[in-house]
Amino acid sequence: MGKKFDPITLEIFWRRLVSIVDEADASVARTAFSSLLRDAHDYTCMFTDSRGQELVQGTFCTPGQAGAMSIGVKKIICSFPKDYYQPGDVIIVNDPWLLAGHLNDVCVLSPIFYKDRIVAFTACVFHHSDIGGRVSSDNREVYEEGLFIPPLKLYEAGVLNEAVLNMIRWNVRTPEEVTGDIRSQVAANHVCSQKITEMMNDEGLDTLDDLADEIISRTEKSMRQAILGIPDGTYPYEGVIEGAGKKKDIHICLSVNVKESDILVDFAGTSSQVDWGVNVVYNFTYAYVFMAVKSAFDPDIPINEGSARPVRMTAPEGTIVNCRFPAAVAARMQVGHFMTEMVFRALSAALPERVIADSGGTPAQTNIFYGKRHDGKPWHTMIIRGGGLGAGSRQDGHHCAIFPANGANTPVEIFESDTPLMVEAREIVCDSGGPGRMRGGLGRRMIIRVPDDEYAPLSPVTVAMQAGRFQYPPCGMFGGVKGTKARFLHNNLPGDPSGLTLCEPGDVLGFYSAGGGGYGNPLERDTESVEKDVLYEYVSIDRAKEDYGIIINPATLEADAEVEI
C-alpha cells in the first residue's frame, strides 16, 4: 500500500513540484536562441512519475503541446524497457503522430535517476521555427515539411551523439540557432532533474509514485465532481473551417456526450484528411478538446493525468482530426485550434456562463520570414500574432490574445533585431471587436516593410502564413455580434494567405487579425462601458450609435441620449 500524505504536506509538496517545473521553464527564457521561445513562449516543460503519468506541467505551458505530450511522452517511455535508460540519457524526437502534431515541435526527454533507480521523467517541447523543408501550408505530404526525427538518443550515458546533432545541423537553414535551442532544452531538463532529486533528498522520499498517485487521484475526483454538475446528455455541434485560397471548406461534426462524471467527445462525420498541411493528429485534437472541457468545468484544479482521465475522445482514423501518416501537418493549428471553440459551442446550451464567443486569435496567426541579409548571411524567424478574444458572460474579450494557444506577441524591438525588416505600425483596430452586452476583444494590424536601402536583404524575402478567419469572422454568442475578419495585404493589394509570398526590397506587408465575437445583446451594454470604449478608441462614435444605441457627444465623449435602433 502506497504512502499517504496529509493535506498540508501534500500542498507543500505540490507547490514545490510546480516551482521546479517553472524554474526549468525560466531557464529556457534565459538560454534559448530563438525569439519564438524566449519571447513568444512557444514551448512546454513537464515531468512524469516513473510510469510516464503526467504529474506537473509548467504554469505558462502551451495547451496544444502539453495536452499532446501527456499522451505522447507516456508512449515513448513505455515503448522501451526500463533497462534501456541510463543516467545521463537524453532522447530527442519530433514524430508528429507520437507527440504534438508537426515536425517543428521537437521533444527532448530525460530519465531522472535517484539512488540508482528511475523515479521520474522530464521532458520539454520547443517549437523550432526552423526544421528545414518547404515552409508552406501548401505541402501535400509530411516528407516535404522538414526533418523527421524518430526517438533517438541525443546523449547516451551523458555522452553527446555528434552524428545526431550533425544530421539536424545539415537539414536546417539556421543551424546555430536550432542547435542552440536544442541545448537549451537539454539544460531545462537538467534543471528539472537536479531539483527533483534535491527535493527527494530533502524530504526523505525514495519514490515519487506514491505522491503522484495521491495528486492524480485527488485531481481526478475534483474533475469528476465538476462534471456531475451538468445534466447527462448529448450536446452536438457542426461547424465549418475555411479552406485557404481556393481550397474547400472543412466540416467538423462533434458531439459532447456526458454520462455521470465521464465525457466522451466524438468526431464521427467530420471531413476526411486533405492534401495540404492543415491535417491534425489525434494527440493535438485531444489537447484542445481537453482544454475546452477543463476550462469550462474546473479551470482551477491542477493539470495532470487525473484531470484528463474523465475526458475521452473518439475520431475516425483518416479524418482531418485524426489523420493518417504521411499527411501534411505543418499548419495543423489552422484546424486544431478550433476544437476548443467548437466544444464551447456544443456546451453553450448547458453551460452558458462558462464559455466564451469565438476569438480572432483562433487559430493563432503565424508568420515565418526568411531570406539572406545584405551580406549573404541567412536569417529565419517566426512570430505569432493574436486577435481579439471572444467575450464571456461577465467580461469583455481581451485585445490581441493568442487563444487557445496561450502564446505571446513578440516585441517589435526583438523582431527588428532578429531580421532585416522594419515594423512601421502595430496597433489595435477600432471597431474590430464584436458588439455585445460584453464586447469582443479588438484585433490588431501590423505593417512590415522590407527596407530598400544599403542594408536591404537580398531578394527574395520569403513569407509564409499559417492563419485563418479571412472568410468567416468570429461569431458572437447569445445575441452578440461577430467581430471583423482577418486580412492580408501585399503592397496594399489582397495577398494570398495560403502559400508563399516572395517580397522584394521596398515591399510592404499588412497583417490584420480578426476581432473577437460579442456576448449578449449589444443594446444591453451599460452606457458607462460604451463611453469608455469611445474614450479609449475601441469603438467609434458612429458605431456606438449604430451598434449600441447610444449617442456620444464628440466634444465631451459622454452619452447625450439613448435612441432605439
Q: What is the pLDDT of residues 492-534, one digit of tens each?
A: 999 988 778 999 999 999 999 999 999 999 999 999 999 999 9
Q: State the Rg of the chain over Cα.
A: 24
3-class state of residue 153 by DSSP: strand
| pLDDT single digits (tens) 53-108 | 999 998 888 888 888 888 999 999 988 988 899 999 999 999 999 999 999 999 99
What mean pLDDT do residues 402-413 have?
A: 89
Q: Which of 385, 379, 352 is nearest to 487 (CA)?
A: 385
- Give the 3-state DSSP-derived string for 246-301, with helices as H, strands as E and coil as C: CCCCEEEEEEEEEECCEEEEECCCCCECCCCCCCCCHHHHHHHHHHHHHHHHCCCC
Give the pLDDT of residue 3.
77
What sign does the dihedral 542-544-550-555 (CA atoms) show? negative
Give the pLDDT of residue 564.
46
- CA-CA distance, 452 to 504, in Å (whole number)? 8
| pLDDT single digits (tens) 458-483 | 999 999 999 999 999 999 999 999 99
**CB atoms closer than 10 angstroms to residue 560:** 12
Give the pLDDT of residue 379.
94
Domain ranges of the chain: 7-221, 356-525
Does 565 score more than 50 pLDDT?
no
> DSSP labels for 26-93?
HHHHHH-S-HHHHTT--EEEEEEETTS-EEEE-TT--HHHHHHHHHHHHHHHHTS-GGG--TT-EEEE
Structural contact between residues 174 and 379, judged by C-beta atoms closer than 8 angstroms:
yes
Total number of residues shown for the chain: 565
Confidence at 563, pLDDT banded by 50, 70, 90: very low
3-class state of residue 379 by DSSP: strand
| pLDDT single digits (tens) 377-398 | 999 999 999 999 999 999 999 9
Q: pTM (2 decimals)?
A: 0.95
Does 178 score more than 80 pLDDT?
yes
Give the pLDDT of residue 137.
84
Tell me the CA distances in angstroms from 252 to 65, 216, 269, 315, 319, one per residue in order.
22, 32, 7, 11, 10
| pLDDT single digits (tens) 419-458 | 999 999 999 999 999 999 999 999 999 999 999 999 999 9
Does 562 score more than 60 pLDDT?
no
Give the pLDDT of residue 537.
96
Looking at every residue in the chain, the average pLDDT score rounds to 94
Does 41 score more than 80 pLDDT?
yes
Give the pLDDT of residue 118.
96
- CA-CA distance, 418 to 486, in Å (whole number)? 26
Structural contact between residues 128 and 104, judged by C-beta atoms closer than 8 angstroms:
yes
Q: Which of 415, 424, 361, 409 is nearest to 388 (CA)?
A: 361
3-class state of residue 549 by DSSP: coil
Return phi, psi of residue 385, to 5°: -115, 140
Does 200 score more than 70 pLDDT?
yes
Tell me the sheet residues that pair with 74.
Answer: none
Structural contact between residues 419 and 411, judged by C-beta atoms closer than 8 angstroms:
no
Confidence at 320, pLDDT banded by 50, 70, 90: very high
Confidence at 561, pLDDT banded by 50, 70, 90: low
Helix orientation angle between 209-227 and 7-31, rounded to the nearest 10 degrees: 100
Structural contact between residues 314 and 363, judged by C-beta atoms closer than 8 angstroms:
no
Residues 6 or more apart in contact with residue 15 via CB below 8 angstroms: none
Q: What percent of the chain has pLDDT over 70?
A: 99
Structural contact between residues 320 and 272, judged by C-beta atoms closer than 8 angstroms:
yes
Confidence at 1, pLDDT banded by 50, 70, 90: low
Give the pLDDT of residue 224.
96
Q: Which burial class, exposed, middle or buried, applies to 172 when counting CB atoms under 10 A from its CB (0-12, 13-18, 19+)?
A: buried
What distance separates the 2 farthest-apart alpha carbons in the chain? 77
Residues 6 or more apart in contact with residue 110 via CB below 8 angstroms: 89, 90, 91, 121, 122, 123, 186, 189, 190, 193
453-481: burial string, b at 16+ Cβ within 10 Å, e else: eeebbeebbebbbbbbbbebbbbbbbebb
Angle at 339 between CA 334 and CA 340, to 5 degrees: 115
